[in-house]
Amino acid sequence: MSLRAALQHLYHPATSTTAGRESRAQKREADISGSGGAAGENSIMKEYEEFVSNEYATQRESGKPGEVFQNRNEDHAKVVIPYLFKGAEQWVHLVTNAANTVVYGSPGVIDAALTFLREKKDGQVSILSETKLDRAEHPFFKATDAEPELRERVHLGFISESAQQDYGCNFGVNDRGDWRFEATRNTPEALVQFGGKDFAVELDHIFQDLSASTN
C-alpha cells in the first residue's frame, strides 16, 4: 500500500469516530473548554489536566480502548503528550512540524521523556520533523542529550520535501496504543485516545514509511 493510500485509509476511523455521535469524553472536554472567562483560565486547565488523568487511569484499569477526546491547543498538547511517554513500555514515535518549543520544550513534556528513558533502559524516542532544527539548541534535546546513555536512544530525523507532499497530519503514538493525532498540520487541534491499538498500528505504519524518507 502506498503512503498516500495508507493515509486515505487511516483518516477514515478518526473521522467516523467523531462524526456519528459525541462521546462522553468529548462532551466533558467540551464543557471544560467552554467554561472559561479570564478569571477561571487556570481553573479550566486544572480541570483539563484532571480530565486527561482520569481518562488515562480509566483506560489502564479497564484494559479497553479509551474514549476519543479532543485536544484543542498548545496548552492541551502540553498536558497530553507527557502521557505518551508515561504510557509507553518500549517506544514513542512523533511526527511534528518542528518540535515546537512551546510544547516540546515545556517542563512536563521534558520531564516525562526523561523519566521514560531512565526507567525503561531499552526505551526509544524517535522524532521526525518536517523542518530542520538545531538539536544542540532545542530544549528537549538539550535535556536528553545531557545524559549520553539517553542521547543514544533519542533519534531525530527530517522528513524529505517529497514525502511531505503525501500526508497532511502530525501525530504521536506509543507501543501501548496511546495516540494524539492532528488531522492537519495547520493547527494544534487534535484527537486523542489511550489504548487505541488499532489506530495506533495504522499511525506507526505511517511513521515507518516516513522514517524511510528522512534525510
Other Cβ atoms within 10 Å of 58 Cβ, number: 15
For the whole prediction, is pTM greater than 0.75? yes
Predicted local distance difference test score (pLDDT) of residue 42: 83
Least confident of 3-17, 95-109, 111-125, 199-213: 3-17
Predicted local distance difference test score (pLDDT) of residue 132: 95
With 0-12 CB in 10 A as exposed, 13-18 as middle and 19+ as buried, what is 20?
exposed
**How much is the average pLDDT of 111-120?**
98
Which cell numbers hold the place of 65? 480502548
Structural domains in the chain plus CATH codes: 3-211 (3.30.870.10)
Predicted local distance difference test score (pLDDT) of residue 112: 98
